[in-house]
Structure formats: structure tokens, C-alpha cells
Amino acid sequence: MMSGGPSDATHRKRRRRRGPKGAGDGPSIPRAVTTNGAGPEEEEVVEGKAMELDAAMSAAEVGGVVGSHLSETRFDECAVSPLSLKAVKDAGYERMTQVQEATLPIILRGEDVLAKAKTGTGKTVAFLLPAIEFLSTLPRSPSINLLVICPTRELANQVAAEARKLLKYHRSLGVQVVIGGTKLHQEQRSMQSNPCQILVATPGRLKDHLENTPGFSNRIKGVKVLVLDEADRLLDMGFRRDIEKIIAFIPKERQTLLFSATVPEEVRQISHVAMKRGYKFINTVKEGDEETHSQVTQMYMVAPLDLHFSILYNVLKKHVTEDADYKVSYLTDFFFLVSYLTITRLYIGDWSMCHCPSKLSGDCILYYCNGHQTCC
């Protein structure tokens, strides 16, 4: 999160790379372009095979918080406990980001905060650290004291991973994640056998637990701090009704924190529902800054439609193999759309030869992706 980011070079570089000799027989990838969100920063033309993506992927390293977002304030200047400071140091964090510097003192005072902050500027620590400080002063109980609601499974897992770093020396506190795409009964067993004080959740799955998990609605009545992370995305994805139902379950006497990259009218409306009157609005996005985060390196590939699934599959396969912490966002629906278009509308083998009960099963798609003429 706090690691160094990409350089600030403004010139463009153009290099031609070729895949290694003897590469697979897949078709070539026409080009891979790397941008930083504000326009092309570095462009690479990559000629290789669908299975040989090293050259393209080397252009897609994504940095964390960069120097331009760091303040001069150190964490040890903040009023947090020695246990938290030790965990912060172990995580490699020394100086606060501008978002953390602006919000931490106010959140530590227990005030409600609406913070406008871009992704990648350290907002996760900005709400987790003061919340953990508060929770560490409470007597241990099976109640959920901190509830963090995230728009996606990937973000929820990232927040939970960050929380575990900060909880390293707070032995009495635990964190759990409840997200869609997993088995509800497994989450139920986990929460019953090992009750946590910090819960990170996506709205739909949280609502499922409220309606179907015995005793969960009582546990959530212990919430002292509510966080809506990436509030604009939560609302864009249609979760407003779910959020309002969830808010109705938890105590009114709580601290509420909203972090959002943008603050449209709908975010203002939900802030009036969720937060106390007189909440603090903190804007850490400078006027004129691009909505797209200019410090996050982005990459796209221009390729024929019939190669989309093959390229996507191999990009993910390569990175998951190399990095166990590799994360993918906003991909599930796109993944199946691409596979459907590629296999059912374009010619990759004789689809009529498939006799699977469900023709778009995962195994079936992978057979076609790997060049087999039929999966049966």
C-alpha cells in the first residue's frame, strides 16, 4: 500500500519486443499499451504468442502510494498505541499519506467523517487504524464492533488483509470477511466458532446473513463504527436499498465514516441518512485533478475478438502463479461475456460437438481456450 509507485517521466518510449523462439502456436498479440490514467505514459508494441505474455506484463507493474501523496507527518507523531505503532512499522509504513494526515486526528476524536479521497492514497489505513485504536479499549465480546462495507469481493479481501497487518499485536481482536461467491454455511460456521470484532462485507452477503444466520442480527447490534468504503461505487452498483436496510439494523449511537473518490449528490444523500448532523467533510482531491487516478499504472491490449478470452485467461494464469496476492477487480461478468462471445459466436473448434449438460461450463471453456477442437 505504501510502496513506491511509477516514475514521473513524461516522455514516451516505444520498444519492440519479440516472444522467445519456439513459443506456442497461438496467434500473436498485436499490442499492449500502458497508461497512468491521464493518458499514454509508455507504449509498448508486443509481438508474441497468447501464451507468452512476459513482455506485455512487464509494462503493467502497478505501484502503491507514491511520494506525491506522502506527507511529512510520521505515524509515531500520532496519538495511537505502541501496539498499533509496532504493527504499522512492521507493515513498512513510516510517514502518513495526505489522506491519513487529514483524517486520522478527526476520526480518533470519534467524529463522523465524509472523506473524498482517490484510490491508492492510503484511505484503508486512514479508517482502520483509528477504529482499531477505539476497539482495543472495549471489553472483549462476541459482538461485531467495526463493520466495513465494500462494493466488491476483491476490495473486501484487501481491506481484511490490511486489517490483519494492523491487528498483529492486538491479540484480542479478530477480523472476518463475508462476501458473495462463497458458501453461506461455511461463513456461518466460521462466525459461530470464532466470533470476530471486525467484519468486512459486501452488501448483498451481509443482507443474507441478517436474514438467514441465527443470532447475527443481535451480534451486529454491537457495531460502534460503520465504514462505507468507496461509497460512490456502492451506490453506482445499486446497493443503496441494501445499505439503508443494514443501517436500520445497527445502533444509531455509532461513528460513521464514508470514503469516496467522488461525492455526487447520491453520496451526499446517503451521508445524511448514515451520519450524524455536523459530520466533517474532508476533501483530499485537489481541484482540477483527474477523476482517474493518475498514479495508478493501467494497461490494455488491442487484439481481435477471437483472442480476448485466450489472452485474458493467460494473463490471469501467469500472475496468479507468480504472485499469490494478485488481485483482480470487476472481472467476473466480463470474463463470462468474453467467453460466451468468443466460443458461441466465433469459430474455435466445433461447438456443436459439445455434449456437456451445460455448454458454458468452466471445464468446457478451458478446453476450447487451450486449442482443443472439442471438450468431449
The pLDDT value given to residue 306? 76
* % of the chain residues with pLDDT over 70: 65
Name the residue among 32, 31, 36 with its Cα closest to residue 10. 36
pLDDT digits (tens, 9 = 90+) for 353-364: 555 544 444 555
Do 134 and 103 form a contact (C-beta atoms < 8 A)? Answer: no
Residue found under cell 491479540: 171
Residue 300 — pLDDT band, cuts 50, 70, 90? confident
In the predicted model, what is the mean pLDDT of residues 282-289? 80
The pLDDT value given to residue 372? 53
pLDDT at 109 over 90: yes
Least confident span in 2-16, 211-225, 305-319: 2-16
Residue 119 — pLDDT band, cuts 50, 70, 90? confident
Residue found under cell 469481493: 153
pLDDT at 82 over 80: yes
The pLDDT value given to residue 369? 52
Count of residues for the chain?
376
Across the chain, mean pLDDT equals 76
In the predicted model, what is the mean pLDDT of residues 308-322? 78
Q: Which residues contact 116 (CB under 8 A, 6 or more apart)?
A: 260, 261, 262, 263, 281, 282, 283, 284, 285
The pLDDT value given to residue 26? 42
Half-sphere exposure of 218 (CA within 13 A, CB side): 8
Which residues in 107-146 are b (16+ Cβ under 10 Å) and which e?
bbeebbbbbbbbebbbbbbbbbbbbbbbbbeeeeeebbbb
Question: Phi-psi category of 363—alpha, beta or left, where left has phi over 0 and alpha has psi -120 to 50?
Answer: alpha
Do 84 and 133 form a contact (C-beta atoms < 8 A)? Answer: yes
Q: Which long-range contacts (C-beta less than 8 Å, at least 24 apart) are formed by 31-35?
A: 31/301, 31/302, 32/56, 32/59, 32/60, 32/299, 32/300, 32/301, 33/299, 33/300, 33/301, 33/302, 34/59, 34/60, 34/297, 34/298, 34/299, 35/297, 35/298, 35/299, 35/300
SS3 229: strand
Instruction: Please name the amino acid found at residue 216.
Output: F
Name the residue among 115, 65, 132 with its Cα closest to residue 94. 65
The pLDDT value given to residue 299? 77
The pLDDT value given to residue 181? 85
Q: How far apart are CA 350 and CA 362, in angstroms?
A: 17
The pLDDT value given to residue 4? 40
Least confident span in 38-52, 179-193, 297-311: 38-52
pLDDT at 95 over 80: yes
Q: Which string of DSSP letters, residue by residue, matches 79-125?
A: S--HHHHHHHHHTT--EEEHHHHHHHHHHHTT--EEEE--TTSSHHH
Instruction: Please name the amino acid found at residue 116.
Output: K
Q: How far apart are CA 168 and CA 170, in angstroms?
A: 6
Q: What residue ranges define each of the domains in the chain, with the CATH number in brackets?
A: 67-283 (3.40.50.300)
In the predicted model, what is the mean pLDDT of residues 253-274? 95
* % of the chain residues with pLDDT over 90: 51
Residue 327 — pLDDT band, cuts 50, 70, 90? low
Residue 282 — pLDDT band, cuts 50, 70, 90? very high
pLDDT at 161 over 80: yes
pLDDT digits (tens, 9 = 90+) for 193-248: 888 999 999 999 999 999 999 999 999 999 999 999 999 999 999 999 999 999 99
First to last CA, the chain: 45
pLDDT at 341 over 60: no
pLDDT at 19 over 60: no
Least confident span in 10-19, 27-36, 125-134, 279-288: 10-19
